[in-house]
Chains A and B, each alone.
Chain A
Amino acid sequence: MKHVVTINQANLKESAHKGGCGNCQASCQSACKTSCTVANQKCEREEK
């Protein structure tokens, strides 16, 4: 494409179908404790 560069896989939808295993970190347990952020957590599913 000449006018648009897509920089990622845009795979949020696929992640919904095989997601929800719950093995990832609870988001408030990292550094924040006051300002919740979820998108910076890692997926820890053992079989992807």
Chain B
Amino acid sequence: MIHKYELNGLYIVLDVNSGGVHIVDELTYALLDHAAPPFAEECPPEILAAMSGYDPEEVRESYRELAALYEEKILFSPDEYEKFAAHAVASPVKAMCLNIAHDCNLRCQYCFASTGDFGTGRKLMTPETGRLAIDFLLERSGNRKNLELDFFGGEPLMNFDTVKEVVRYARSKESGCGKRFRFTITTNGLLLDDDKIDFINREMHNVVLSIDGRKEVNDRMRRTVGGKGCYDIILPKFRELVSRRSRDKDWYVRGTFTKHNLDFSEDVFSLYEAGFDQISVEPVVSDPACDYALTEEDLPAVFAEYERLAKRLLEQDKKGKHIHFFHFMIDLDQGPCAVKRLRGCGCGNEYVAVTPDGDIYPCHQFVGMEEYRMGNLHEGTFDTEMQQQFAKTHIYAKPACRDCWAKFYCSGGCNANNYQYQGDILKAHPLSCEMERKRVECAIMMQAVKAL
């Protein structure tokens, strides 16, 4: 399978199964509408006839080049991965989202967690439950050395004593168990102060700072309980945290765009102008009935904006002002292995979420869906049959993914979105797929510009 597209003046051909990316001239791009395996020794007359607008000798030459790439198995290469998918079984659990607080001090209009409590009542996780979560991860992680724990919510800073205790407890177990914990915290920033910044910058491998971009965009959706925008409160705190953060540790400012800011590249650049160069701005996922929801009619505008953003980022690069935009980051040579790409996010299999009550769900997006409750830390239960089910949610189990050129880049999308909006974890959510494909096209184009 190949995927070809034209973007930013480049004719790009992706060989899906080898991962090969080829930049071709306009003639070859046109020839690929007609040439496909099996390749003949010389370009067949019917293809020359179909390419009558081009110099026949050039067409023959291009045809030979395509045939050589085919022989090298980097064009029209076969799909040899399904055998790996067929052996998909439950893995050790290596990552956990700890919903440390089912409560929040913001009332963001688009919150998938029902303004913090996931529809299950406002609660904070006790230190005891936090320690049980660490024990669960240690027991279930097999030979995995790197364990990941994300402090999430609600708003985790509303329960910071438990955050500190969980970190202390996990660190105390590291050397004895031969494990390394990598902590992430996702925060809206309202409660950040010097002590919390110091702790976060010392202990957290990654920090995700929630802010949507321009002040008016942020404040429209991200409001305090009293109904006021939070931009002016959080911006100085985020700047302080980032300015004091060691360069070898990760962080992102992370925003959400909606139908109200389809010109979201302005938000990316607003964040950059505000002093941040590690940026993720992502599409809202919501009930289509909401006034801010992205719908199919918005796709042309979203696509155009992704293209505009990609070109603006390339211009920035030329000026030596690099912006890391999370969704355009792609490494065409040293990225994840094919086995990882088959499995996708790993939710419900190697990744789970835990609520303040100790309930275990496949991931944070499934929290509150009783039919997907996998167990409880206090009861000592964990549904390994459901884990097996999630282990098999690979791209070959998803009908829409099998024939999708982007399957090795997105790896099957979000199972929770699939369930929530399509009624089945194996049915891809078309709107998300469309945007994902566009992002991958832009990301590859940017790599091509840099490589040429």
Using CB atoms and an 8 Å cutoff, list the residues of chain A in contact with chain B: 1-13, 15-16, 18-20, 22-45
Contacts and interface: CB of A to CB of B under 8 A. Distances in A.
A28 B59 CA distance: 45
Contact of A19 (B94, B148, B338, B346): B338
B414 interface: yes
A35 B345 contact: no
Given A7-B452, A30-B206, A39 B23 contact: no
A6 B411 contact: no
B10 to A, nearest CB: 10
A4 B17 contact: no
Contact-residue size bin, chain B (C-beta under 8 Å from the other chain): 35 or more
B365 A40 contact: no
Given A20-B84, A31-B208, 15 more contacts: A4-B13, A4-B24, A7-B21, A11-B18, A11-B19, A11-B333, A12-B19, A15-B337, A15-B339, A19-B336, A22-B350, A27-B411, A31-B280, A33-B186, A36-B345
B5 interface: no
Contacts of B95: 25-26, 29
Contacts of A24: 336, 340
Interface in B309-356: 326-327, 329-341, 344-347, 350-351
14 contacts: A2-B61, A3-B25, A4-B13, A5-B22, A6-B22, A24-B336, A30-B250, A32-B326, A33-B152, A34-B365, A36-B345, A37-B410, A39-B341, A40-B329
A19 to B, nearest CB: 3
B330 A15 contact: no
Contacts of B19: 8, 10-13
B334 to A, nearest CB: 6
Contact of B336 (A3, A34, A36, A43): A43
Given A3-B65, A36-B344, A36-B413, A8 B21 contact: yes
A11 B69 CA distance: 14
B18 A4 contact: no
Interface of B: 13, 15, 17-25, 27-28, 58, 61-62, 65-66, 68-69, 73-74, 77, 80-81, 84, 91-92, 94-95, 97, 112, 144-146, 148, 150, 152, 182, 184, 186, 206, 208, 250, 252, 254, 256, 280, 282-285, 326-327, 329-341, 344-347, 350-351, 363-365, 408-414, 417, 432, 435-436, 439-440, 443, 447-448, 451-452
Contact of A2 (B65, B327, B452): B65
Contacts of A27: 344-346, 411
A43 B411 contact: no
Contacts of B335: 39-43
B345 A39 contact: no
B92 to A, nearest CB: 7
A44 to B, nearest CB: 7
A11 B299 CA distance: 32
A10 B20 contact: yes
A13 to B, nearest CB: 6
Contact of A9 (B69, B208, B330, B333): B333
Contacts of A38: 336, 340-341, 344-345, 409-411
Nearest to A41: B336
A46 B146 CA distance: 11
A32 B329 CA distance: 12
A4 B94 CA distance: 42
A37 B436 contact: yes
Contact of A12 (B338, B346, B432): B338
B23 A20 contact: no
Nearest to A16: B338
Contacts of A33: 152, 186, 208, 254, 364
B452 A23 contact: no
Contact of B21 (A1, A6, A30): A6
A35 B112 CA distance: 13
A26 B25 CA distance: 38
B176 to A, nearest CB: 20
Contacts of A30: 184, 206, 250, 252, 326
A39 B62 contact: no
Contacts of B282: 32, 34-35
A10 B22 CA distance: 10
Nearest first, the 7 closest Cβ-Cβ pairs linking A and B are: A19-B337, A10-B20, A12-B19, A20-B339, A26-B95, A16-B338, A8-B332
Contact of B345 (A6, A28, A40): A28
Nearest to B440: A39
